[in-house]
Amino acid sequence: MKYNYKINLASQSQRRIDFLNQLKLQFNHFSVDIDETQKENELPLNYLRRIVNKKKEEALKIYHSDTTIALQDDNIILVADTIVVLGNTILQKPRNKEEAKSFLTTLSNRWHNVITGYAISNGNNINQYKFITTEVLFKKLSQNEIDFYLSDDEYIGKAGAYAIQGLGAFMIKKFVGSYSNVVGLPIMEVFSDLQELGIIEI
């Protein structure tokens, strides 16, 4: 694999780090810290667009100013954010077990969307934005099944209060679209973009 740009993942998500490793990519990673609070009456896609843009802007500040990361002109940054959406409601990371129970009860026997927005940018001639949606259907969950899932700590820190790649798989009846997108990064789309933008060559 030939690299025309150095890849820098601006994320602390272990799942996204693992995906890039799975693709056998060489990359650096660092975290960005922004306020991800949803504004009043802010629609899901507007929220996601704003958060991805804020992550990109913060990453580019580090790109241009943080000499400890040693980013130069031949570098690109990759940022992403994933939301779970039911109707026009974003199901964020649950604040406690009761809220997680409420989320799972609401998702039971219903379709919802998992949307990842990502940006690939060098702050100059490369500025790629995409939003990838996967539709997910939960099985009809009994209260015992919900309690069983919540007896594990997997729901903590997970948007929508579940992880499709773990114990939460038993709750998924079907999905339409990218599996990895539900986990946190649509790897087919990202890998294709890295090639189409001339960042890597195979």
Structural domain boundaries enclosing 182: 2-201
* Residue 81 among the catalytic residues: yes
Instruction: Find the CATH number of the domain harbouring 93.
Output: 3.90.950.10
Give yes or no for residue 64 having a pLDDT over 80.
Answer: no
Among candidates 9, 20, 7, which has minimal Cα distance to 180?
Answer: 20
Q: CA-to-CA distance for 167 and 157, rounded, in angstroms? A: 14
Q: Which two tokens stand for residue 139?
A: 């099985």
Cite the beta strand spans of the chain per DSSP E: 2-3, 6-10, 27-30, 75-86, 89-90, 111-121, 127-138, 172-176, 200-201
pLDDT of residue 159: 95
pLDDT of residue 99: 98
pLDDT of residue 176: 98
Residues 48 and 133: beta-carbon distance below 8 Å: no
Q: CA-to-CA distance for 122 and 64, rounded, in angstroms? A: 10
Confidence of residue 125 (pLDDT cuts 50, 70, 90): confident
Give yes or no for residue 183 having a pLDDT over 80.
Answer: yes
What is the distance, to the nearest Å, from the Cα of residue 97 to the centroid of all Cα atoms in its chain? 22
Cite the beta strand spans of 139-193 per DSSP E: 172-176
pLDDT of residue 66: 57
Q: Which two tokens stand for residue 184?
A: 């946190």
pLDDT of residue 195: 97
What is the distance, to the nearest Å, from the Cα of residue 3 to the centroid of all Cα atoms in its chain? 24
Confidence of residue 107 (pLDDT cuts 50, 70, 90): very high
Q: Are strands 27-30 and 6-10 parallel, antiparallel or unpaired?
A: parallel
Average pLDDT over residues 138-149: 98
Tokens 């799972």 sit on residue: 104
Q: Which of 81, 147, 152, 153 is catalytic?
A: 81
Average pLDDT over residues 170-181: 98
Q: Are strands 127-138 and 89-90 parallel, antiparallel or unpaired?
A: unpaired
Single-letter residue type at 141: L
pLDDT of residue 62: 81
Residue 39 DSSP label: P
Give yes or no for residue 68 having a pLDDT over 90.
Answer: no
Give yes or no for residue 22 having a pLDDT over 60.
Answer: yes
**Count: domains in the chain:** 1
Average pLDDT over residues 42-59: 96
Give yes or no for residue 71 having a pLDDT over 60.
Answer: no
Give yes or no for residue 65 having a pLDDT over 90.
Answer: no
